[in-house]
Amino acid sequence: MAQPDVIVVGAGVVGLSAALALQMRGLDVVVLDREGPAAGASAGNAGAFAFTDILPLASPGILRKAPRWLLDPLGPLTVKPAYALKIAPWMFRFWRACSPARVEGSTVAQTALMDLSKAELEPFLAATGTMPMLRRDGNLQVYESEAEFRASLPGWEARTRHGIAFRHMDAEEMAELQPGLSPRFVKGSFTPGWYSISDPRDYVLALADRFRAGGGRIERAEVTALSPGADGVALDHGWRAGHVVLAAGAHSHRIARSLGEKIPLETERGYNTTLPPGAFDLRTQVTFGGHGFVVSRLSSGIRVGGAVELGGLELAPNFRRAEAMLKKAQAFLPGLDPQGGVQWMGFRPSLPDSLPVIGHSRASPRVTYAFGHGHLGLTQSPGTARLVADLVTGAAPPIPLAPFSSTRF
């Protein structure tokens, strides 16, 4: 078997997007994944291209909410007791990343990657034949009180500074945009520039089909170590390539350890329930920020999901969290039919400053990292793919990459 130019480790949305971008530049690319395309978080996300979501999760606002949330074992944020000691160093880094100066720096970097991803999205969809899957339904963030709404205003001011369009609404305007909301929600903020995909799993599988049609190969193989040399990189099972792109999501940091890099990647375990398509007349994605979840309209149904459970890769799922979100969704959308749902849990790969790692490994320029996107893997996949293709081919990246370097830790 001939040695490919590039092996991409990971067949999620980031890995396959990068593989396609490299293939479009004329490189011979192989994708390796332990389970196959769309097996992880790329299949179960909310389906949003959340380009307006420029504020990092690590922020003073989260620090204010976290103590109240942590007291509720089924709330928006929880740490499994069995995992609390192990995650303590990550939580300390997260706390440090919440300082105003660091939040400002992260916001600038996040905005640059969002702008690039938005610019790259439609050309990428056109090139891969997936443009018909794009939707432009927007997002409605809702608030249960004037106080909650006022607390959100600094974030909207930051979006204004970055040229993001939105409009605030009262209850009557929200009811016109999205009928069926509970009257408990008195204010809302609508962002029309919030795009979505018809179904994230179908999208990633379509990317896989396009990659194969272009001559690419996708093989099932568990990669545990990389060994770079002067003329290429060796992997498990006898695989070898001139260059490797590590985009293995929540498993990436374990592979990076083989290169001597300890990257503080953690897993935000996300839960959802996907109801049949007729469960509710949903016209825009609705975000219940005070409760940490969203309701999205997909071609496969109505998805109720979100929240953050910090519990690593090994602990068993707690589907009571999905049930709690569904129960809240029934109260918030009184016409919602909760019958016939399918539950899911997946791993969001997250770094303490809310920015991904994108760039060459410290160990070798023949290894390029592309992981740690947290809640924004789908959103940032087009921009990340462009950056990876530039890095591998030696082109100048269009945005500064220092904020995304693995060496920042």
3-class SS of residue 270: strand
Q: Which helix (H) or strand (E) holds 233?
A: strand 233-234
Q: What is the DSSP string of 74-128?
A: TSSEEE-GGGHHHHHHHHHHHHHHTSHHHHHHHHHHHHHHHHHHHHHHHHHHHHH
CA neighbor of 128 nearest in space, from 28, 48, 17? 17
| CB-neighbour burial class of residue 397 (10 A; exposed 0-12, middle 13-18, buried 19+) | middle
* Helix, strand, coil share of the chain (percent; to 5): 40, 25, 35
- Is residue 68 predicted with pLDDT exceeding 70? no
Provide the pLDDT for residue 114. Answer: 96
d(CA 285, CA 181): 12
Are the C-beta atoms of 261 and 363 separated by less than 8 Å?
yes
Q: Categorize the per-residue pLDDT at 67 as very low, low, confident or very high, splitting at 50, 70 and 90.
A: low
Q: How many CB atoms lie within 10 A of CB 332?
A: 21
3-class SS of residue 226: coil
Tell me the per-residue pLDDT of 220-244, one tens digit each, with 9 for 90 and over: 999 999 999 989 999 999 999 999 9
Tell me the per-residue pLDDT of 371-403, one tens digit each, with 9 for 90 and over: 999 989 999 999 999 999 999 999 999 999 999
Phi (first) and psi of residue 398, to 5 degrees: -80, -10
Please state the rounded mean pLDDT for residues 170-192.
97
Are the C-beta atoms of 258 and 226 separated by less than 8 Å?
yes
Tell me the per-residue pLDDT of 126-154, one tens digit each, with 9 for 90 and over: 999 999 999 999 999 999 999 999 999 99
Q: Categorize the per-residue pLDDT at 162 as very low, low, confident or very high, splitting at 50, 70 and 90.
A: confident
Supply 249's token pair.
Answer: 């999501």
Question: Which is more confident, 384 or 59?
Answer: 384
3-class SS of residue 151: helix
Provide the pLDDT for residue 365. Answer: 96
Provide the pLDDT for residue 306. Answer: 87
Count CA atoms within 13 Å of residue 127 on its CB side.
15
Provide the pLDDT for residue 69. Answer: 62
Phi (first) and psi of residue 29, to 5 degrees: -125, 140
Tell me the per-residue pLDDT of 296-324, one tens digit each, with 9 for 90 and over: 999 999 999 987 888 888 888 889 999 99
Please state the rounded mean pLDDT for residues 155-171.
93
pTM confidence score: 0.93
Supply 45's token pair.
Answer: 């996300």
Going along the chain from its start, the domains and CATH numbers come out as: 1-56+99-133+196-264+353-409 (3.50.50.60)
Provide the pLDDT for residue 378. Answer: 96
- To the nearest whole number, what is the mean pLDDT of the chain? 93
d(CA 14, CA 377): 6
